Chain A
Amino acid sequence: MRNLLNFLYRFRTFGFFLLLEAVCAWLIISYNQRVNASFLNSSNFLAANINLAASNTSDYLSLSRVNEQLLKENTFLRNELARIVLDSTHVQKDSIQQFEYIQTKVISNTFQRSQNYFTLNAGSGSGLEPGMGIISSSGVVGRIKSVSQNFATGISLLHRNLMISSSIKRSNTLCTVQWDGASPYEAELKFIPRHIPLIEGDSIVTSGYNAVFPSGIFIGTISSFELDQKDAFYQAKVKLGVDFTSLDYAYVIKNNLAVEQDSLETQTLMNE
């Protein structure tokens, strides 16, 4: 017993070292597993406010680019509106509006790391919840990971763990977009069966087969693809529509029927 105590005493520093490393390992693992993981990220009050101050000071430098972006989006929306008015028989008259868009500003963003996150200046106070989808004027941006009262942290599309159910617009083939960690401008396109003919420049849009993104939201265009003799699926790359190196404004998608849709789907799965 005495020997044991002596031993422990002699190696107390090393033991303490192991303890701290174990705490770190626990932090890393738990952050990767749970959705709304912890307060230890950029949505916490102090971190987000410092990021906000930093973003406010550098905002003026990007004003002209933001202006141009907004102008483009405006034109697009006006065209869309004109088309809908012309085509008014196709306007859906739902009893509830299924999707709502909440406008937010990106106050900090990374794109060079192998797991990228960004911080938004809206939180649970504006109705944001973990798991909601985020888009910008030029396509899908990511999903919300955790929220605080006034801020939210989002998983960027440039994160290996994020898979987005998508489809090829031309042929309606279901596929999955996932980032491979190489370039912030490209992602991998997975699970396209080999009998589907592909064309470079095909648009990839969200499939709408889950409650996160509505269908038909632009993700990117096919930039390259190849098909080996023995592969069951294509190896293809998507050029992303969103320029993650300059992310300014984003819209969070609130699906008012998400709970209903999810519970129905899980119920169906359980009944099988």
Chain B
Amino acid sequence: MIRINYIRQVIHLFVFLILQIPLINKFILFDKAFGFFYLGFILFLPVGLNRNLTMIIGFLSGLVIDVFSNTPGIHAAATVLITFVKDYWYSFAIGEDEEPNLSWNDLKGWGSVKFLLPLITLHHTIIFVLENNGFTEFVILMNKILLSSAYTFITVFSLSLLLAPTERK
């Protein structure tokens, strides 16, 4: 049984997911970079939590975002995939088995890049390809994916850095 810090998860829920909702159509740079930083809530869910439960949480958060952005199913499809592969990717990229209270302190700078960036890029690729109905307008599509991934990564990275608990030694 893993010990989860529920308060931390609730803070993540508010800072990442709830804060994203009014900003979903506003948090956009240069008309190309979309900040979907709600993904931070999903990425920082406890590693080792029951995967079915994680997927349900991912599905519901995706659906909430979908309702607000008029894309029923698109965000949910991407977040379900992310919650499915997240733990495998964590053990592959970071190496440790379980981290019930994942935070910036466990990842540090380079770990964040290794763990967060590929998953964020995967998520954005799915969203933009689904929304675009395929690979038409390829250059614009790639621009959107790359710029948005970078934008989201920077936002999630800074928010998680801000939320990181002070380390006790």
A108 contacts the other chain (CB 8 A): yes
Interface: B44 (CB within 8 A): no
Q: Is the CB of A47 within 8 A of B67?
A: yes
Docked-complex contact A110 and B132, CB < 8 angstroms: no
Q: Give Cα A121 to B58, complex, Å.
A: 30
Verify A110–B51 contact, CB threshold 8 A: no
Residues of B within 8 A of A226 (CB): none
- Give the nearest-CB partner of A153 in chain B: B70
Q: Interface readout for B18-61 with A: 1 if CB under 8 Å, 0 if not?
A: 00011001101001101000000000000000011001100100
Question: Does A37 contact B84, Cβ atoms closer than 8 Å?
Answer: no
A41 touches B31 (CB 8 A): no
Within 8 A of B (CB), among A10-51: 12-13, 16-17, 20-21, 23-28, 31, 37-38, 40-42, 44, 46-47, 50-51
Size bracket of the A interface:
35 or more
Please classify how large the interface on chain B is, using the bins under 10, 10 to 19, 20 to 34, 35 or more.
35 or more
Which chain A residues lie closer than 8 Å to B131 at the CB level? 113-115
Q: Is the CB of A160 closer than 8 A to any CB of chain B?
A: yes
Interchain CB contact (< 8 A) of A31 among B52, B63, B73:
B73
A40 touching B72 by the CB < 8 A rule? yes
Chain A residues near B71 (CB, 8 Å)? 115
Nearest CB of chain A from residue B154's CB, rounded to whole Å: 18
**Contact residue among B22, B70, B133 (Cβ-Cβ distance under 8 Å from A54):** B22
Q: Is A117 an interface residue (CB 8 A)?
A: yes
Contact with B along A97-140 (1 / 0, CB 8 A): 00000000000111111110100000000000000000000000
Beyond the given pairs A51-B22, A181-B136, 11 more chain A to chain B contacts, judged by CB atoms under 8 angstroms and listed by A's residue number, are A12-B52, A20-B76, A21-B80, A40-B63, A42-B67, A47-B67, A54-B26, A112-B28, A114-B137, A115-B70, A153-B70
Show 27 residue pairs from A and B whose CB-CB distance is below 8 angstroms, ordered by the A residue: A13-B52, A13-B84, A16-B52, A17-B81, A23-B59, A24-B62, A24-B74, A25-B73, A25-B77, A28-B74, A31-B72, A40-B66, A40-B67, A41-B72, A42-B67, A50-B22, A50-B68, A51-B22, A51-B68, A53-B22, A109-B25, A110-B25, A114-B131, A115-B70, A115-B71, A181-B136, A181-B140
Which residues of A approach B to under 8 Å, CB–CB?
12-13, 16-17, 20-21, 23-28, 31, 37-38, 40-42, 44, 46-47, 50-51, 53-54, 108-115, 117, 153, 160, 180-182, 184
Q: Please list the 5 inter-chain residue pairs (A to B) with the smallest Cβ-Cβ separation, ordered nearest first.
A: A27-B73, A24-B77, A28-B73, A117-B70, A40-B72
